[in-house]
Amino acid sequence: MTKIRAAITGIEVFVPDYILNNKELEKMVDTTDEWIMTRTGIKERHILKGEGKGTSDMGAEAVKALLKKKNIDPSEIDLVICATVTGDMQFPATANIISDKAGIKNAFSYDLNAACSGFIYALVTASNFISSGKYKKVIVIGSDKMSSIVDYQDRQTCVIFGDAAGAVLLEPTTEEFGIMDHAFGTDGSGRIHLHQKAGGSVKPASHATVDAREHYIYQEGQAVFKFAVTKMGDISLQVMQQNNLKPEDISYLIAHQANLRIIEAAARRTGLPMEKAIINIERYGNTTNATIPLCIWENESKFKKGDNIILTAFGGGFTWGAIWLKWAY
């Protein structure tokens, strides 16, 4: 039987207008543009402003733009998966709210949480629905309003994160394009280094948790850094090796944009030159589930049909993974 693969056939993003630059952060916490640039490579990040605006608003804008660009009626969409760590609410799923806002009525939808690896986990999940032969048009969204869980009194984390959303359309192909292979890993013991302390079932919200500032991101930067470097590099290499791909066969490396130094180290471990690594962290910071779609979107016109692209991510959990993608258009 002919194998059905899932190919990315379109992408759109939403980036909020408001720009929070390093100079402004210098006024908020004890930091400098020089420190932030040297340690992270980030110059500015976009922040979603406006009362009552959340992750679904950015996701819905990206989806509406995608449907328009592809000239697709919302009723044609079969499935919507949203990767996020900053859902509008604990429940229902933000994917349901996005579908509602984008006029998608014939799809089922749900969220997927694998922290910063969420978007690539969602891509593979969606690709399996397509490969089953039952689903023809699936939208995967990576959307995070990180500013809603960033403590702007904590200089270690507030300089890193930004807000954005991206949405891709996946469609079936019987040609040798699309999502070709992947490798994923998870280590739950890593949760101690990166998490949100309160607001879940273990420690529901209370006056005490708010007073203790426990509803924000808690990150032990150095510990996460060490794992991110090794895991993104090694898993990318694993995907390349299991498909006999040499560094010269790879056109682009798209790594989760958490820190420029992590991307450089990951590229080194895979034997790929930095010219092949797509970088935009300087202008967006770490937008969690939106970093990879932002990189794809910015370079869409540069990609050629058949380009071998490695997508790789590392995030809270710990979670990590890599996908071998053959660009389909």
Catalytic residues, by residue number, are 116, 256, 286
Q: Which residue, 62 or 313, has its beta carbon nearer to ligand UT7?
A: 313
Q: Which residue, 131 or 156, has its beta carbon nearer to ligand UT7?
A: 156
Cβ atoms 97, 56 nearer than 8 A: yes
| 228 lies in the binding site for ligand UT7 (CB under 6 A) | yes
Cα–Cα distance for residue pair 153/143, rounded to 1 Å: 24
Q: Which of 7, 138, 183, 258 binds ligand UT7 (CB under 6 A)?
A: 258
Cα dihedral: 129, 131, 136, 138 (round 10) = 40
| Nearest Cα to Cα of residue 321 among 179, 216, 139, 159 | 179
| 222 lies in the binding site for ligand UT7 (CB under 6 A) | yes
Phi, psi of 143 (to 5 degrees): -140, 130
Q: Which residue, 63 or 281, has its beta carbon nearer to ligand UT7?
A: 281
Which residues share a beta bridge with 74? none
Cα–Cα distance for residue pair 295/293, rounded to 1 Å: 5
- Residues 32-47 as b or e (16 or more Cβ within 10 Å = b): eeeebeebbbbbbbbb
| Shortest CB 126 distance to ligand UT7, Å | 22
Cα–Cα distance for residue pair 150/216, rounded to 1 Å: 5
Q: Which helix (H) or strand (E) holds 11?
A: strand 5-14
Q: Identify which range of 2-10, 203-211, 240-248, 258-266 contacts ligand UT7 by CB under 6 A.
A: 258-266
| Shortest CB 179 distance to ligand UT7, Å | 22
Residue 28, token pair as written in the block: 């908020």
| Residue in the block written with tokens 């996005």 | 98
| Shortest CB 220 distance to ligand UT7, Å | 8
Q: Which residue, 109 or 257, has its beta carbon nearer to ligand UT7?
A: 257
Cα–Cα distance for residue pair 307/319, rounded to 1 Å: 26
Cα–Cα distance for residue pair 247/133, rounded to 1 Å: 33
Cβ atoms 249, 308 nearer than 8 A: yes
Window 273-292: residues binding ligand UT7 (CB under 6 A)? 286
| 42 lies in the binding site for ligand UT7 (CB under 6 A) | no
Angle at 162 between CA 77 and CA 113, to 5 degrees: 50
CB-based contacts of 241, cutoff 8 Å, min separation 6: none
Size of the site for ligand UT7 (CB under 6 A): 20
Q: Which of 92, 185, 199, 221 binds ligand UT7 (CB under 6 A)?
A: 221
| Shortest CB 162 distance to ligand UT7, Å | 11
Q: Which residue, 7 or 266, has its beta carbon nearer to ligand UT7?
A: 266
Window 82-121: residues binding ligand UT7 (CB under 6 A)? 116
| Shortest CB 295 distance to ligand UT7, Å | 14
The mark string for 159-198 relative to ligand UT7 (x by CB under 6 A, - otherwise) is x---------------------------------------
| 31 lies in the binding site for ligand UT7 (CB under 6 A) | yes
Q: Which residue, 227 or 303, has its beta carbon nearer to ligand UT7?
A: 227
Q: Which residue, 135 or 284, has its beta carbon nearer to ligand UT7?
A: 284
| Nearest Cα to Cα of residue 237 among 288, 183, 285 | 183
Window 287-316: residues binding ligand UT7 (CB under 6 A)? 314-315
| Shortest CB 263 distance to ligand UT7, Å | 10
| Nearest Cα to Cα of residue 314 among 270, 256, 248 | 256
For ligand UT7, the binding residues (CB under 6 A) are: 31, 35-36, 39-40, 116, 155-156, 159, 221-222, 224-225, 228, 258-259, 262, 286, 314-315
